[in-house]
C-alpha cells in the first residue's frame, strides 16, 4: 500500500463549480497536513496547512482532515480558470522533517 495516494486525474470542471480533491494515507501517525498548488514549470506553492483533525477555511479554500478515515480533502468554491494547476497533498510525522507527497491531481477549470 502506498504511503500517500492521490488520484492524478486529470479533473476538468466548469468555472464556478465546487471542486473536491482528496488524498488517502496509510500511516496513522501523520500529524501535519498540507495542500500545495503547482503551476507548470513552478514550484509547489503552499495553500493550506493543518495540524491533526478538523477543518480550516481560507477564502475560497477549505481543507478537511479526517484522521479516523486517514483521508484529507481540499474544497475550492467558485472555481476560477486561474485555479487550473496541479494540486499536491503532503503530510509529515510529528518530530520528522520530511514531507511525504501525493502524486498530485491535475485540475482544469473551463471558462
Question: DSSP per residue over the chain, as a string?
Answer: --SEE-----EEEETT--EEEEEEES-TTEEEEEEEEE-TTS--EEEEEEESSEEEEETTEEEEEETTTTEEEEEESS--GGG-EEEEEEEEETT----EE---EEEEEE-
**In the stretch 6-45, what mask flags binding to another protein with x, by CB under 8 A?**
--------------------------x-x-x----xxxxx
**Is 100 near another protein (CB under 8 A)?**
yes
**In the stretch 50-89, what mask flags binding to another protein with x, by CB under 8 A?**
--------------------------------------x-
* Chain positions contacting another protein, by CB under 8 A: 32, 34, 36, 41-46, 49, 88, 90, 96-104
Amino acid at each position: 500500500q502506498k504511503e500517500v495516494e492521490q488520484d492524478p486525474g486529470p479533473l476538468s470542471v466548469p468555472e464556478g463549480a465546487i471542486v473536491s480533491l482528496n488524498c488517502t494515507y496509510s500511516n496513522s501517525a501523520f500529524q501535519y497536513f498540507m495542500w500545495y498548488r503547482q503551476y507548470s514549470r513552478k514550484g509547489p506553492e503552499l495553500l493550506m496547512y493543518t495540524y491533526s483533525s478538523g477543518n480550516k477555511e481560507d477564502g475560497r479554500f477549505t481543507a478537511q482532515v479526517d484522521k479516523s478515515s486517514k483521508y484529507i480533502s481540499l474544497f475550492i468554491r467558485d472555481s476560477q480558470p486561474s485555479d487550473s494547476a496541479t494540486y499536491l497533498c503532503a503530510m509529515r510525522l510529528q518530530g520528522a522533517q520530511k514531507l511525504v507527497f501525493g502524486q498530485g491531481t491535475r485540475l482544469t477549470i473551463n471558462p
